[in-house]
Amino acid sequence: LIPKGTGFAGIGFKSIPPNLLNPATRLLEKDLVSVPEGYTAKVLIAWGDPIAPGGPTWLADASQDAAAQEKQFGMHNDGMYYFPLQPGKVVGRTVSSQARSLRGFLNQPINSGLLCVNHEYTQESILHPDGLDVVTIAKVRKSQAAHGVSVVEISKNGNEWSFNRNSPYGRRITGNTEMRVSGPAAGNALLKSKKFSIQPTGSVDTGTLNDGYTAYGTLNNCANGYTPWGTYLTCEENWNGYFANSTRDVVAIPGIEKSDILAGQNRYGVSTSSSYRWPEVDPRFDASTNPLEPHLFGWVVEIDPYDPQSKPVKRTALGRFKHESAQVVVDDNNRVAFYQGDDERNEYIYKFVCTQPLNPKNRAANRDLLDNGVLYVAKFNDNGTGKWIPLVYGQRGLTPENGFRSQAEVLVKTRQAADRVGATMMDRPEWVAVRPRIGGYKEIEVYCTLTNNNRRGTTPVSSNQPDGTTAAGGARPTVNPANPRPDNRYGHIIRWREDGRRVTATTFKWDIFFEAGDKTRLEPNLQGNIKGDDLSSPDGLWFDDFGRLWIQTDHSGDGIGDLVNIGSNTMSCADPNTKQVRRFLTSPTDCEVTGITSTPDGKAMFINIQHPGDRGTTLNPTIASNWPNSQGYGPSGRPRSSVVVITRNDGGVIGGL
Ligand code: FEO
Ligand code: CA
Ligand code: CA
Ligand code: CA
């Protein structure tokens, strides 16, 4: 099946053309998902579909309230993972020596599973009948209910995949769901925000404080991960956008310096207003009067999809930033690491190494593996080597005189800690993917999309100073070999191999997989060096279990300007050995393609179309898309982010020969 030593089973489909803008109509040629000949793409679940017991059927006029939305599929779905339905057993793609192996999972059942899906954000103009010109607590509660995560039971009957609207596993985790906080930062004074009673009619100040071990809700869940013990990891990205500090000041809190809190709000981008407008009616999100609440966001959250009663857990040991994916690797010693990006211009790449090894025979023994370990940040040297720098209290200036009084504070202020130790500022680290060690391929090889960066140049304007005072996105570093282009409009993909094939390695070798661009352009900065089909702004990234690298994109302005030859967003497939890229999927209008997972046999692939019709709204007659309605799905009315299932008409493996 796989030629020895190559770690790659080959690509079998014929690439499809880009979906370009028609200059006469100013619309994309196709307002639909296109896949190669011999494949079928169908909408499986869309925003508002009922996925938990008692959930009402979605109404196209958006008149349903928060209580309905709490039992319906959330909005703007992003990262996701398919868990085969085998309650009580260690599942996922587990094997003892490596998190993936062809033999290890081919016998797993493939006809039903639990799809865990992130809901990154909401578009208020589509979510409410009258948009957000007037903000009410009812609208805010609906918005909060449309965030978070969905656990959806899906199954295959004949060749058709569908979701179960009354599954006992069907579950919504929202912006208000009670969660446990664990790991080194749990219980710290910085996490003891005001305790509110969260009611449909408002958040009532109880006059007491949270205990530092409790949080409410998960927000802006972008990319994701999974664990070898069969749990889902959801990653909180742009959580700062839900808070507002209109005073640029905070109420006094005994034992904590105001300046310390404000420096943190600045470094993570909490601003004076929020486009979601929650703080105007929900005081929990007022970062001036409830200034510690932001410290309860920016974490990786672990969810057990097999136990609908389980409480999600915020795992603070993995650090606090604007998380993209958390991708697991288990090495030959059963040591476990999670690779993570912080998606903002000039932020960092991280790795968390668990102290305890994986116990492949006992699921319960791994339950708190994510609470103990070392968080490292990456430094990419100019000569193709790299270093993992540990973020450990007391080391490398992470000391009280520099504002770090404990490991808890190092983790709450992960960005400031990384600034201080001299990590490499990257061009917006998005998803991470790990190459499967199959067919004799033995390297631990990790890839990360650097989606673009318009704040890198030849003249530094400022940098993230060691004192951590620079605002989020404020830096403008010069180019370096790992981020080689000023004004990196098309993005690139970097990869590294751990020295000694151990996840515990503190050194690695890196190279650039490709620089994206439009090869017809003459400017070297814009041409890129992709072999095969061009793309722009790589974002979603995933290896299938056959060694194929799948790349999803997130640019805006389909077919306009820099994208005139690239068109809509895409999903492509790359050969990790030759770097050849083939276009597999083109998207409908003004969406991104994000989120990717498959059944263990590789014969059904799931991807997300997020924020279709983004440039218009149903209130706006100039709207360019109502996708997926144009394909006949659901009643007419408004565009809906959706999960799409892709199958091969001959029943074969997606992407295979
Ligand atoms: Fe939500 Fe970094 O994309
Ligand atoms: Ca997105
Ligand atoms: Ca993304
Ligand atoms: Ca993106």
Tens digits of per-residue pLDDT, 392-424? 999 999 999 999 999 999 999 999 999 999 999
Residue ranges with CB less than 5 Å from ion ligand 4: 539, 554
pLDDT for 638: 85
What sign for the dihedral angle of Cα 624, 628, 631, 637? negative
Reported as a single tens digit per residue, the pLDDT across 27-85 is 899 999 999 999 999 999 999 999 999 999 999 889 999 999 999 999 999 999 998 87
Q: What is the dihedral of CA 494, 99, 239, 54, to 10 degrees?
A: 140
Spatial separation of the C-alpha atoms in residues 325 and 559, rounded to whole Å: 28
- For the chain, give the percent of residues with pLDDT over 70: 91
Q: Which token pair is 49? A: 């579909």
Q: How confident is the model at residue 619 (pLDDT cuts 50, 70, 90)?
A: very low
Its pTM stands at: 0.95
Give 120 Cα–ligand 2 centroid separation in angstroms: 6
Residues whose beta carbon lies within 6 Å of some atom of ligand 1: 120, 222, 237, 324, 343, 430
623: pLDDT strictly greater than 60: no
Reported as a single tens digit per residue, the pLDDT across 439-448 is 889 999 999 9
- For the chain, give the percent of residues with pLDDT over 90: 81
Q: Closest ligand to 591 CA?
A: 2
Which residues does 602 contact at the CB level (< 8 Å), separation at least 6? 544, 545, 546, 653, 654, 655, 656
The phi, psi pair for 219, rounded to 5°, reads -135, 150
Residue identifier of the C-alpha nearest atom 1 of ligand 1? 222
- Total number of residues shown for the chain: 657
Average pLDDT for 513-528: 95
Q: Which token pair is 195? A: 């305790």
Q: Closest ligand to 429 CA?
A: 1
Task: Please answer whether residues 161 and 155 qualify as being in contact, where contact means their C-beta atoms are separated by less than 8 angstroms.
Answer: yes
- DSSP assignments along 239-260, one per residue: GGGG-B-TTS----BTTB-HHH
Residue ranges with CB less than 5 Å from ion ligand 3: 430, 539
Reported as a single tens digit per residue, the pLDDT across 522-561 is 998 899 999 999 999 999 999 999 999 999 999 998 999 9
> Of residues 214 and 634, which shows the higher confidence score?
214
Task: Please answer whether residues 448 and 419 qualify as being in contact, where contact means their C-beta atoms are separated by less than 8 angstroms.
Answer: no
Relative to the CA of 341, which ligand 1 atom is closest? Answer: 2
Give 541 Cα–ligand 3 centroid separation in angstroms: 9
Average pLDDT for 240-259: 97
pLDDT for 622: 52
Q: Which token pair is 647? A: 């199958």
Going by C-alpha positions, the residue among 133, 6, 32, 141 that lies closest to residue 441 is 6
Give 328 Cα–ligand 2 centroid separation in angstroms: 22
Going by C-alpha positions, the residue among 288, 313, 290, 262 that lies closest to residue 192 is 290
Give 538 Cα–ligand 3 centroid separation in angstroms: 9
Relative to the CA of 554, which ligand 1 atom is closest? Answer: 3
Average pLDDT for 472-499: 91
Q: Closest ligand to 343 CA?
A: 1
